[in-house]
Amino acid sequence: MATTLKHLRSGITALLLGLASLAQAEIGPAEKPDLKLGFIKLTDMAPLAIAWEQGYFLDEGLFVELEAQANWKVLLDRVITSELDGAHMLAGQPLGASIGYGTQANIITAFSMDLNGNGITVSNAVWEAMKPQLSEEGGQPVHPINAAALKPVIEEFRDRGERFKMGMVFPVSTHNYELRYWLAAGGLNPGYYAPQRGDTSGTLQADVHLSVTPPPQMPATMEAGTIQGYCVGEPWNQQAVFKGVGVPVITDFEIWPNNPEKVFGVTEAWAEKYPNTHLRLLRALIRAAHWLDENNNANRAEAVKILSQSSYVGADPEVIANSMTGTFEYEKGDVREVPDFNVFFRYHATYPYPSDAIWYLSQMRRWGQIPEPKSDDWYMKTAAKVYRGDLYAQAAQSLIDDGLLAASDFPDFSEENFERPFQGTLIDGVPFTPKTPNAYIDRFEIGLKADQTP
């Protein structure tokens, strides 16, 4: 039986590759058709799940195994050691690895998996203490909520000789930088890193002490009182509401509308060794992202059912639907329309804009993870090395040539595609100027200046 299945699979592979090569003469057969890809159990892994469930991987002659990973460090390490061919990654992971923060490795991304999708949640006790500082309209708190409302709470902790602690998912995660951004915009210092002095805690001079907590464990860790709040992706903010243990106070869409979130990452060596495989993976992921957003999110209900499976996110469908279908629940019963909470394709979400990379690098510098001053040119070169729009353009153009997607679905690749369009203003009103990153860093009241060291 095993031999028969092996022969059958070989025949299917040959047929798929033959058909694919006829349709896409410019992209040859996959050099490595059998792949193992990693992910963390979050709703923004959706493009991987949909590419598998809708047969987009098979369309490219790829036999893909999707495997959930224990945490972001394990995921990155397994990509570096080639145990995984690629993975759903934090947008800062390829950058952090490439500049040698933590583990040094040349990681690239040619696909942005989504925009938005995170929230900041506090415990019920903290929320009750914050409420007197908030304005109300129609009996509900006015959003966005400023982190200044936390100041009296933090002072109470300080008076008791306790630290106010919050969780984030990884030192180079969007969640770390978004949480820090929100706190600093409210006049609270989230602390500095000083790797050159051997201090990678990120808590120097901190008003709020941030630490790493795996996403699925955050609601329980907060309920136990180990942390007083956290920043995480879905469904773990909505899970706190569902279980009655906490209240999301702000979404990342309110911190920075249409901010970049996760990416698909591979090692540079892997991409160079298997260029056709990489392009075919990108084609499948682009199609999956398009499916998730097409016809005004018409497929989201089906996506929720898929993601609720234990092999993907494994959360209650109702919890996943709270954010995936265009709404977000803050307090129980306070459900608000947030149609762009999860964006996978529209607004050119999938293109790896250099400006995305520069924002992350600027925040690494602001908080001391990059301890020494860097020139504007360094930021530009690092972004170009890690965020590979050239590879994305190849895959996208082939989909256009094959009639699978329209040219209007993508940015104009004949021009410089540097800065992500369709973004709103950040919560503190500081304009993001990606072509002058040092000047941008210098505008913040809290944080290192471009020429300072922690």
One domain, residues 75 and 171: no
- Chain centroid to CA 27: 29
Last residue of a domain, which of 257, 281, 309? Answer: 257
State which of 232, 257, 282 marks the end of a domain.
257
Residue 225 resides in a domain? yes
- Between β-strands 192-194 and 107-112, what pairing exists: parallel, antiparallel or unpaired? unpaired
Residues 295, 404, single domain; the answer is yes
Low-confidence ranges of the chain (pLDDT < 70): 1-25, 415
453 within domain boundaries: no
Contact 270, 86 (CB under 8 A): yes
Same domain, 7 and 73: yes
Domain edge (last residue) among 230, 257, 284? 257
Q: Is the dihedral of CA 90, 395, 266, 268 positive or negative?
A: negative
**Based on the domain organization, do 286 and 404 belong to the same domain?**
yes
In 117-275, at which residue ranges do the beta strands (DSSP E only) sit?
A: 118-123, 136-137, 140-141, 165-168, 192-194, 199-204, 209-212, 229-233, 246-251, 262-267
Question: What DSSP element (H or E) covers 175?
Answer: helix 174-185
Listed in sequence order, the DSSP H helices in 186-297 are 218-223, 236-243, 252-255, 268-273, 275-297
Same domain? 89 vs 56: yes
Helix count and strand count (H, E) for the chain:
19, 18
Are residues 238 and 185 located together in one domain of the fold?
Answer: yes
Cα separations in angstroms, 334 against 61, 248, 311: 46, 11, 30
Q: Cβ distance 108 to 271 under 8 Å?
A: yes
Q: Which of 151, 150, 165 minimizes the C-alpha distance to 212?
A: 165
Whose structure tokens read 């999860």?
342
Q: 74 and 214 share a domain?
A: no
The answer to whether position 39 is within a domain reads yes
Q: What radius of gyration do the chain's Cα atoms show?
A: 22
Alpha-carbon torsion 398, 402, 404, 410, what sign?
positive
CATH assignment at residue 23: 3.40.190.10
Backbone angles phi, psi at 254, to 5 degrees: -80, -25
- The residue with tokens 């018409």 is 298
* Same domain flag for 134 and 112: no
Sign of CA dihedral 16, 18, 24, 26: positive
337 burial via Cβ count (<10 Å: 0-12, 13-18, 19+):
exposed
163 falls within a domain: yes
**pLDDT at site 196:** 87
Q: How far is CA 66 from the centre of its chain?
A: 18
Pairing of strands 34-39, 86-90: parallel
Please give the pLDDT value at position 415. Answer: 67
Burial environment of residue 196 by CB neighbours within 10 A (0 to 12, 13 to 18, 19 or more): exposed
Roughly what angle, to the nearest 10 degrees, separates helices 354-366 and 376-386? 130
Residue 434 domain-assigned (yes or no): no
Burial of 25 (0-12, 13-18, 19+ CB in 10 A): exposed
* Together in a domain, 231 and 305: no
Say if residue 280 is in the same domain as residue 215: no
Please report whether residue 428 resides in a domain: no
Q: How far apart are CA 29 and CA 25, in angstroms?
A: 9
Do 154 and 199 share a structural domain?
Answer: yes
> Residue 452: inside a domain, yes or no?
no
The answer as to whether 420 is a domain residue is no
Distance, in Å, from the CA atom of 49 to the CA atom of 53, rounded to the nearest integer, reads 6
Residue 102 has a pLDDT of 84
Q: Of 328, 352, 290, 431, nearest to 110 (Cα)? A: 352
Which amino acid would we find at residue 120? I
Domain count, the chain: 2
Residues 267 and 405 both lie in one domain: yes
Single out the residue of 114, 120, 211 nearest to residue 169, CA to CA. 211
CA 77 to chain centre: 18
The boundaries of the domain holding residue 9 are: 2-116+260-329+340-409
